[in-house]
Structure 1
């Protein structure tokens, strides 16, 4: 659900300004209107299916079981990321696709389970009064800001994770320790998942519950539609502010730059939680409400099937810890929504590679008797082209 933009600016450079602006707009619309609703639908259906099937008669035991199993799987996938990247490679062909998607399904269920468990345990232990919600939410947000990890509260539509083989299993840890030191690496994985991840749940749970309290609590339909409209208005405002804030961030340093990035991520989070709450609630209200099992199984299969077909199923995963303002200059306020731009960049790179090979072959054909032109020199010709 989260990501970094480090290095993407240079990677996606190319083309005219008008074309770049059009692709950027298309990426924003794709992330907001396609990926975000599909991700929310997956989370909502998986969460509700756990409500229906995981110890439904015992709320605390159900929450505890989900939290324990989910956090354990998350720590395991974090610790084993290097091993998985070495063993599951595209060279395996169809097996790579099958096994990598099985990983996504398992990791996705673990993420939802961990969040559901921590969320419901908080409900059981702290209650849902406005005063308690305000205090826990603010304390968690300030803790994340102190750890320079506030940006981890962001999610779709402000993050689209492409199912790319080179970083399919990557899970950045809080302290970026090496897996060679097993003790430190294990502690880093546990801290990243159990501490930072739980603080993110605290912020989401408090913000969501406060919206339930203050936003038309006696009329759910009106409340959800208001959240939907307000959320997408804030999404549009956030993306429109990106260019001027990127310019400002590039000229700031230290605490000022960090504060700007954090405030911007808080604005994006306010938009995100409204979009998520509205889509979640509207699905509950209008999609076969009388048959919750059928409704949620259809939503679960359909949403994940769509995301896999679009090659962005990893957008459903909550994994890794990203540091506030870790990217250079103004890139710290750029959201990782580069689906279409990455696609066209790859296609452009393939065309350039084919033209280079064709030019090298043509040059070799023109000089068949030139002994100095050997196959070892073809890459040099390709590079010049």
Structure 2
């Protein structure tokens, strides 16, 4: 879900100002908004509702605390064993084993993530009165605290982020202070605790507050109309956000310090408003229209089909909410560029493969010339076209 261009496996893609580059960026935005995002939301909806069905359905408080426990312990396990996973499972060593383990990792970690969010979300529903001023205060306080920690970026989600299933960082879970579990295990434990319990909880508070405000303010008496309105509003804001990226990037290229961070955070929050409305609308529309009389089957389908579909697209990691990213950690205006790289990443990889093949071919030609010279005395010269010739 969350992400930053600083954490991109292949490095930040800086697209040139060409029609071709703009077209590829447009395709990435369409892919993220119309394919990846609905699948991610459907997965979360199905998984969340299945947990509500099976995890102490008759005791809301016990169910909420159980989800908190599963989410917290699960996050710590995946934080602590990320290095071991990366060292033990790599496609260059055992490709089939990596494919099996990595997809099992995503399936299990996805349930952990949903439980972690559901626990805090449910506790808020149980103990916080559903009033506009209450949730608005929680939203503002949580955003300010995240901005103070330079962690507001962590409220971002699909369609403003895509996490592809690259082997290089498949198991990587960044922490707030980037501590090392080997050189300083004590500090790493505190780093993980802060990342999971403080940053993670504040992010849940922001999302739950925004959902509650939308529930209270957008046609609260008509669930269907409210969902369709949120869908229009959400995708409208997302379109504006992507459209403003070049202007904001230009501004952040020149701004420094506090003002650069402030502009980035305001822009991130604008994108979050659109993202939250997209999530709320797609989730609600699935509840209303997709097999409403067969709740269990509906949720099983959205859970299973979505994760398989995303795995086939090689971006199943988009369902995971893991790690902490720092606001404006990228250089220049890259801090306002959302990590929506899928089609462009494919072309970059193909371009890299072509360059490597050309280099290998040139090395092969040079090796062949040297072997020929060793067998018979010769002189290597270049003709006017720059090609090598052997003159005996």
The TM-score range, normalised by the shorter chain, is over 0.9
Query: 1:246: which partner in 2?
Result: 249
Q: Distance in 2 between matches of 1:16 and 1:355?
A: 26
Aligned to 1:55, the other structure's residue is in SS state: coil
Structure 2: which 5+ residue stretches go unaligned?
376-392
Segments of structure 1 that go 5 or more residues without pairing to the other structure are: 373-385
Name which one, 1 or 2, has greater alpha-carbon Rg: 2
Q: Which residue of 2 aligns with 1:2?
A: 2
Q: Which residue of 2 aligns with 1:133?
A: 135
**Superposed displacement of residue 187, structure 1:** 1.0
Aligned pairs for 1:199-348 within 5 A: 199-348=202-351
From 109, 112, 123, the counterpart of 2:111: 109
Matching of residue 198 in structure 1 with residue 211 in structure 2: no
**Matched residue SS, 2:33:** helix
Specify the SS of the correspondent of 2:204: helix
Measured in 2, the distance between the counterparts of 1:12 and 1:262 equals 22
| Deviation at residue 341 of structure 1 after TM alignment | 0.7
- In structure 1, the partner of 2:151 is 149
User: For residues 310-334 of structure 1, what are the alpha-carbon distances to aligned partners after superposition, in whole Å with 9 as ceiling and x for unaligned?
Assistant: 0000000101111111111101001
Residue in 1 that maps onto 2:361: 358
Match of 1:175 among 159, 174, 177: 177
The 2-side partners of 1:317 and 1:236 are apart by 24
Which of 91, 98, 101 is the matching residue for 2:100?
98
Distance 1:10 1:69, change over 3 A: closer
Q: What are the Cα deviations for residues 278-325 of structure 1, in whole angstroms up to 9, with x where unaligned?
A: 000000000000000000101111100110000000000101111111
SS in 2 for 1:6: helix
Aligned residues: 372
TM-score by length of 1: 0.94
Q: Taking structure 2 as the reference length, what is the TM-score of the superposition? A: 0.92
1:10–1:19 Cα change, 3 Å: farther
| Contact 2:147–2:265, Cα closer than 8 Å, also in 1 | yes
Deviations 1:130-171 (A, max 9, x none): 222112121111111111101110100000001011111111
Deviation at 1:358, TM superposition (A): 2.2
| CA deviation after TM superposition for structure 1 residue 175, in Å | 1.1
Contact kept, 8 Å, 2:5 with 2:12, in 1: the verdict is no
How far apart, CA to CA, are the structure 1 residues paired with 2:6 and 2:177? 17
Aligned to 1:382: none
Quote the offset at 1:359 in angstroms. 2.8
Cα distance in 1 between the residues matched to 2:36 and 2:192? 28
How far 1:172 sits from its partner (Å)?
Answer: 1.0
Distance in 2 separating the partners of 1:169 and 1:364: 40
Determine the C-alpha separation between the residues in 1 that align with 2:210 and 2:130.
11
Once residues 368 and 260 of structure 2 are traced to their aligned partners in structure 1, the CA distance between those partners, rounded to angstroms, is: 56
In the TM superposition, 1:64-83 aligns within 5 A as 64-83=65-84
In structure 2, the partner of 1:184 is 187
How much does 1:366 deviate?
Answer: 4.2
What are the Cα deviations for residues 256-294 of structure 1, in whole angstroms up to 9, with x where unaligned?
001000000000000000000000000000000000000
Are 2:6 and 2:12, in contact at CA under 8 Å, matched by a contact in 1? no
Greater CA drift, 35-44 or 11-20 = 11-20
2:124 to 115, 122, 142: 122
